[in-house]
Amino acid sequence: MTQKIILGDKTFEPYIYANAIQEAVSRMASQINEDYNGKKPLFICVLNGSFMFTADLMKQIQIQNEVCFVKLTSYQGVSSSGKVLELIGLPQNISGRDIIILEDIVDTGTTLEKLYSMLDPFDINSLAIATLLFKPSAYQKKYPINYYGIKIPNTFVVGFGLDYNEAGRNLTEIYKLTEKSMLNIVLFGPPGAGKGTQASRLVEEYNLFHLSTGDVFRANIKGGTELGQLAKSFIDKGQLVPDEVTISMLESEVEKNPQAQGFIFDGFPRTTVQAEALESFLSHRGASIGLMLALDVDEEELVVRLLNRAKDSGRADDADEGIIRDRIKVYNEHTAVVADYYAKEGKYVKIDGVGSIDDITSRLFEAINAVV
């Protein structure tokens, strides 16, 4: 493994060699043999990615055991972080069993959370997680990782069962993404912070594509797309549009712009669940969110700005101070909590949003240039 490889539109370089993989698998097998001596565990291999890891691990398991292969199914057209419907292949009777889930890689932990919730109704004796690769910096869940082979940073990898758009699973070693990653930014800020103005400048400077959730919703509804009609059905009932519909719309927009060097996500994510869904979607494209840039503006300044904007915009919610303050309150109480998610990832940057437009732009450029 000395050469870079190309899978689709991405280039990957050698990362973890076969001997290192086998050493990790052997170490895990030895520990499991010791811990489960005298027991008969049921190994649950989560397809598709875990098949090679499972095959090599089972060659070194010396205790009595059983193996089954399961697959998660979800709503059609929804990213892997969408609602999981069922486990295909789970044995009917697992009550009283010692279960070991075999995963190829654990990053955010969303899949593990789903597995735990699905296995919870069964009266099992014990449940453990064994994964070949583990990304501790990306892990967001509470469940213990009982056995792991190799810890890796939050980078995109393929090979040994792992894929990029279903390619690369057959590689006997593991490769990591080497080409310059897309610059993907979450632009954050309360109403009146100036996101629209600054987004247009970021687009021009870094050749990014601006994805405003509001604009995407309006375009889909006006165009009568299937997703737009679905979103409108919820809106007409006064209900919030489900996360899976919103993320599907954004996915569609990203897919329409394959030449973009990156995206500005404006108005999304608004919750931690949405942030995880966005990261999952991007990771399957070999990308991730690079920065969350949060424009910080005092409430009184925001009120003045929006009242002045109302003179030109004609928007009723910009002309009513009570409505303005309610909008800011909702932002602070609900949307702003997403900042904690990106802060834990080391991607949150607060930008002073007061001053001239040029000054604010310079601060944004400075923050971006520090990481590109």
Q: For 92-116, what is the mean pLDDT?
A: 87
Q: Region 90-114: what's the mean pLDDT?
A: 86
Q: Which CATH superfamily is domain 185-369 in?
A: P-loop containing nucleotide triphosphate hydrolases (3.40.50.300)
Choice among 27, 169, 232, 309 that is catalytic: 309
Instruction: Give 232-245 as a DSSP string.
Output: HHHHHTTPPPPHHH
Domain with CATH 3.40.50.300 in the chain: 185-369
Helices (H), ranges, the chain: 18-35, 51-58, 110-119, 195-206, 213-223, 226-236, 243-255, 272-283, 299-313, 316-319, 321-333, 338-344, 357-369
Look at residue 79 in the predicted model and tell me its pLDDT: 32
The predicted structure's pLDDT at residue 175:
92
Q: Would you call 309 a catalytic residue per the annotation?
A: yes
Of 10, 285, 305, 327, the active-site residue reads 327
Q: Is 218 a catalytic residue?
A: no
Per-residue pLDDT at 178: 75
Query: Is 195 a residue of the active site?
Result: yes
Residue 345: closest CA among 113, 140, 81, 141: 140
> Is 270 annotated in the active site?
yes
CATH 3.40.50.2020 in the chain: give the residue spans. 5-177
**Active-site annotation holder among 10, 97, 270, 363:** 270
* Residue 80 pLDDT: 37
To the query of whether residue 232 is one of the catalytic residues in this protein, the response is: no
Statement: residue 362 has pLDDT above 90? yes
Is the domain spanning 5-177 CATH 2.60.40.10? The answer is: no
Q: What is the pTM of this model?
A: 0.54
Q: What is the pLDDT of residue 74?
A: 42
* Whole-number pLDDT of residue 102: 95
Q: Which of 97, 195, 285, 305 is labelled catalytic?
A: 195
For the segment 159-191, what is each residue's pLDDT rounded down to a tens digit? 999 988 889 999 999 998 875 667 899 998 888
Question: Distance between terminal CA atoms of the chain?
Answer: 28
pLDDT of residue 267: 81
Q: Give the pLDDT band of residue 76 (cuts 50, 70, 90).
A: very low
